[in-house]
């Protein structure tokens, strides 16, 4: 037993010694080591053409990015860099290897491979986009809090002029402002309606923090306070109560509605020839595109809380800034319109009936009887 104990002590000692003398290049390279050089705003690389490109990575912007927030290391992407040799002018291999995003984002990669963008790249079309053309190298942020216009400006409109290819589409400006491109051009993607608060006085969207502060709630207990029947969805009655609470707390804003996709991997499967062009796909009271409705409160990180609402909320007279013909019509206005029409018909009919009934009386008056 004593010999066995010494045997295990010897193994433990040798293991500890190995760890202590472990070569530096086999240990993880910290982001701070990379930023010792790449955190310098003046760091540039001169190309053979004589032009220079910046190799600067803003540490704060990277920290605020999706990768930074998830503590992704530089070498998780630049995996060919396994050691830093400071005896060389450039302490890592040059050039660095191509970064394959699908090593982590495999579902997005699969969807992209079935897209018109990938097909164009296979054909050798110059400028056919890959990940880097749409997504920033180091500063990719969460997109859940972005509006349709912000998303389109970040992605589609960098290459495409929608006015050039949508001559058949009525009310183009309205569609481009309130409907995300992928809603029609990525047929397999999920869709929903986002409602957010827009202050007409300041002409800006209210942040989630501003709203919860005004209401005296938190992101976590908002539904507990507003969802009276505890079914996990705000119905029309509860939505009206929310509107009253906002007004009591001097929040003077409209509900800005947008039709957007769910930002799942399928959004990368943009196809050619399968874009939705039938108006009734959306403009129908039975359209499934309006089945999911969310009130969103944004976070500074780009994330957003999505609080589910009943579809009938879109037919409320409080939602005045988002209207899709037939799909979201306000039934109260239908009733009022019908009453106006019936009233007009009744007035005209009553007037004509009185004219007919009083013909003898008017005839006698004209004859002086």
pLDDT at 179 over 60: yes
Name the strand (E) or helix (H) holding 47: none
pLDDT at 12: 56
Helical segments of 72-207, H only:
74-77, 106-113, 116-122, 131-134, 148-154, 162-165, 172-178, 181-185
Mean pLDDT of the chain: 87
pLDDT at 11: 53
pLDDT at 23: 47
Q: What mean pLDDT is predicted for residues 295-312?
A: 93
Grade residue 326 by pLDDT with cuts at 50, 70 and 90.
Answer: confident
Q: What are the CA-CA distances from residue 192 to residues 108, 183, 262, 365 (Å)?
A: 20, 9, 7, 69
Q: What mean pLDDT is predicted for residues 293-316?
A: 92
pLDDT at 165: 84
pLDDT at 26: 47
pLDDT at 320: 72
* pTM (2 d.p.): 0.78
Q: Which of 145, 159, 148 is closest to 181 using CA atoms?
A: 148
Say if CB 39 and CB 57 are below 8 A apart: yes
Domain residue spans in the chain?
65-140, 142-329, 332-366
pLDDT at 194: 95
Q: What mean pLDDT is predicted for residues 282-299?
A: 92
Q: pLDDT (tens digit, 9 = 90+) per residue, 46-75?
A: 888 889 999 999 999 999 999 999 999 999
Grade residue 315 by pLDDT with cuts at 50, 70 and 90.
Answer: confident
What percent of the chain lies above the pLDDT cut of 70? 91
SS (H, E, C) 249-317: CCCCCEEEEEEEECCCHHHHCCCCCCCCCCHHHCCCCCCHHHCCEEEEEECCCCCEEEEEECHHHHHCC
pLDDT at 14: 57
Q: How far is it, in rounded angstroms, from Cα 339 to Cα 322?
A: 24
Q: pLDDT (tens digit, 9 = 90+) per residue, 120-159?
A: 999 999 888 999 888 888 999 999 989 999 998 889 998 8
Q: What mean pLDDT is predicted for residues 69-85?
A: 93
Q: pLDDT (tens digit, 9 = 90+) per residue, 3-26?
A: 555 555 555 555 555 444 444 444
Residues 6+ positions from 50 with CB-CB distance below 8 Å: none
pLDDT at 336: 82
């Amino acid at each position: 037993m004593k010999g066995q104990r010494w045997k295990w002590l010897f193994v433990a000692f040798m293991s500890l010694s190995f760890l202590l003398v472990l070569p530096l290049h086999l240990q993880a390279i910290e982001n701070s080591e990379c930023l010792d050089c790449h955190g310098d705003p003046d760091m540039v690389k001169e190309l053979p053409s004589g032009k220079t490109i910046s190799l600067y990575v803003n540490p704060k912007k990277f920290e605020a990015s999706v990768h930074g927030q998830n503590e992704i290391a530089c070498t998780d992407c630049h995996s060919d860099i396994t050691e830093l040799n400071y005896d060389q002018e450039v302490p890592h291999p040059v050039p660095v290897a191509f970064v394959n995003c699908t090593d982590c984002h495999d579902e997005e990669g699969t969807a992209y491979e079935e897209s018109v963008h990938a097909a164009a790249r296979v054909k050798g079309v110059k400028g056919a986009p890959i990940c880097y053309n749409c997504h920033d190298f180091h500063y990719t942020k969460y997109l859940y809090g972005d509006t349709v216009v912000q998303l389109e400006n970040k992605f589609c409109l960098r290459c495409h002029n929608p006015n050039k290819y949508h001559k058949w589409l009525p009310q183009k400006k309205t569609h481009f402002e309130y409907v995300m491109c992928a809603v029609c051009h990525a047929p397999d993607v999920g869709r929903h309606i986002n409602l957010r608060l827009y202050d007409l006085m300041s002409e800006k969207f209210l942040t989630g923090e501003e709203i919860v502060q005004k209401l005296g709630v938190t992101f976590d207990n908002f539904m507990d306070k507003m969802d009276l029947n505890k079914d996990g969805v705000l119905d029309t009655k509860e939505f009206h109560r929310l509107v009253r609470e906002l007004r009591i707390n001097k929040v003077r804003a409209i509900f800005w509605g947008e039709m957007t996709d769910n930002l799942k991997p399928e959004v990368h499967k943009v196809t050619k020839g399968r874009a939705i062009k039938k108006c009734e796909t959306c403009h129908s009271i039975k359209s499934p595109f309006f089945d999911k409705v969310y009130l969103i409160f944004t976070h500074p990180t780009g994330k957003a809380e999505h609080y589910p609402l009943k579809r009938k909320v879109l037919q409320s007279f409080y939602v005045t800034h988002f209207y899709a013909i037939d799909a979201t019509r306000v039934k109260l206005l239908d009733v009022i319109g019908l009453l106006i029409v019936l009233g007009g018909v009744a007035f005209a009919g009553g007037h004509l009936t009185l004219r007919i009934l009083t013909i003898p009386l008017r005839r006698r008056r004209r004859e002086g009887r």
